[in-house]
Structure 1
């Protein structure tokens, strides 16, 4: 008998997404967040899902192999670095993403991190609560007139550019995969090389996927290209930053501050060096977690699963391993 189960790697999914699953005759099962591999494989084998909504934690080759009925993996968002895409491709399983569904929310969060970091909101809040009135001698920074460099120019970055420009920030971007018209339509300066963007920006905001080529993109060398006293914002993937290099740059003062929603390992360890540095503002990877985005992302993720198992086209642009699957079947 064909499986009628859809698994969610997380404690919940939006109610509208759950209703969509039920209305199409499927049942939903959940995995505790960030379940270890052994327990994940056991649960997957018990449920034998036809589709999986990947939210929290890694869904690797062993989990894929544990589900003989599996036909599609759907990311609750857009970043697939926690999915073994190669293992899925070997099984001819499409990996789909909810492209653009949380773009507005993540972009808002990027701007919130930027303002909180540049305006030193967190340390000022802490000192005031500790009984210190540090107005004398304080000198802030205006963001209007600064230059923001976006590494990657997908949907999230384009929304970020709109919000940044509204604040009077000059915006430039680097993305080797976007066409010139995308930059022209947004009124954003295009840099031909990421090194050029880093050198020209007061604020660097990361919006690219984590790949072998982009891992530790921000390291000692690239930080050295950045302006003294510049800022880093990361709402993409923690692995884009060499965290030890960032700590060194913060301690030296070369980087004035960083606003981070993602980490190399999630959740980070209790003794992570970021915790002792007030110049670094952190949030627990919740940039896209808003009521509005959760509805869009959850429904889009489930729609992607239903499209595949019902023989409909989810859209080529949503299938991250489309080319590999097409090549394997020709």
Structure 2
């Protein structure tokens, strides 16, 4: 059996040692580190048996139309908004993601952001660095408050939402969530309070955290109106997708003082160039924002162990389907209907 050709258009690491240790001689990887499809030869797209895509390459409808032999696309990660799954469905190409890595890392990251803000760690560190004597005081710190008894509002209660809620509950916070996509009775198994509308959640949350994928339904779901609907002094955490939140609205809500603080691991444009006003103010250490904002570079998922899982599971899914016919973690059901009639 000749090796299967798997195209990796936007590899972070060119060696693919982890992936090759899983697939052995079964797969011949064609590895590129590109973000523009035109930078990869047309024949590479047309002749590949599968695609292993990270997050920097967009698999558009036009590109899907050029995939003459492709039998599968695996997204190396959880989010798949960079793949036109509907175009793949129409073409009869199954798309799978890797939902079973990094969940605990992302949950820990969200909690770390909340605690960093609510316990004033950034302000205390900055004060002591600036002046170990006069900075050795606990009072007059932005945001710092007691978390016990406050309400944690979760938008989305899937794997990551549940993992975060479990950690939040250990801080004696009351967990309330909104998720129209889980069945009735879901809340009974979890033991957390469920509300029927986003507006209800916003009005009750002291800390608001997002755990949903990016879609037409969720894009910019948090903007000026939603932030104003929150109680004054709230904290916003986003470790999901940058385009869920209007960062200019966050800037306005922080500047006005209605929003106490925000923790953002994801941004609408990554890297954030050109920088939005919020990042400009943060980088300039503007006094009004000090201690009220923490930003990390889409790193919530990362640990060495999580990274190894992500790459290993991706390679395993290629073998499971391409060699053994077992499809896992499919995110575009219905592809089978087109597969039988699509010429190859």
Q: What is the TM-score with the length of structure 1 in the denominator?
A: 0.89
Indicate the larger mover: 269-278 or 217-226.
269-278
Displacement of 1:69 after TM fit? Answer: 2.7
1:17–1:295: 8 Å Cα contact kept in structure 2? no
Q: 1:44 to 1:308 in 2, by over 3 A?
A: farther
1:203-262 CA-to-partner distances (Å, cap 9, x unmatched) read 111001111111110011111111101011111100100111111001011111111111
In structure 1, what is the equivalent of residue 186 of structure 2? 182
RMSD: 2.5
Aligned mate of 1:325, from 307, 312, 335 = 335
Q: 1:329 to 1:83 in 2, by over 3 A?
A: closer
In structure 2, what is the equivalent of residue 83 of structure 1? 83
In structure 1, what is the equivalent of residue 92 of structure 2? 92
Displacement of 1:191 after TM fit? Answer: 0.9
**Is residue 2:64 matched to residue 1:64?**
yes
Unmatched segments (≥5 aa) in structure 2: 283-289
The number of residues matched between the two structures is: 324
- Alpha-carbon distance between aligned partners in 2 of 1:327 and 1:68, rounded to the nearest angstrom: 18
Q: 1:73 to 1:116 in 2, by over 3 A?
A: same
In structure 2, what is the equivalent of residue 17 of structure 1? 19
- Alpha-carbon distance between aligned partners in 2 of 1:326 and 1:284, rounded to the nearest angstrom: 37
In structure 1, what is the equivalent of residue 286 of structure 2? none
In structure 2, what is the equivalent of residue 28 of structure 1? 29
- Alpha-carbon distance between aligned partners in 2 of 1:29 and 1:182, rounded to the nearest angstrom: 44
1:173–1:189: 8 Å Cα contact kept in structure 2? yes
In structure 2, what is the equivalent of residue 137 of structure 1? 139
In structure 2, what is the equivalent of residue 53 of structure 1? 52
SS at match of 1:180: coil
Q: What is the TM-score with the length of structure 2 in the denominator?
A: 0.86
In structure 2, what is the equivalent of residue 166 of structure 1? 170
Displacement of 1:49 after TM fit? Answer: 3.0
In structure 1, what is the equivalent of residue 293 of structure 2? 280
1:43-75 CA-to-partner distances (Å, cap 9, x unmatched) read 873794322222131322244344433211111
In structure 2, what is the equivalent of residue 113 of structure 1? 113
Equivalences for 1:139-218 in 2 at 5 Å?
139=141, 140-218=144-222
Q: 1:47 to 1:288 in 2, by over 3 A?
A: farther
Q: 1:292 to 1:103 in 2, by over 3 A?
A: same
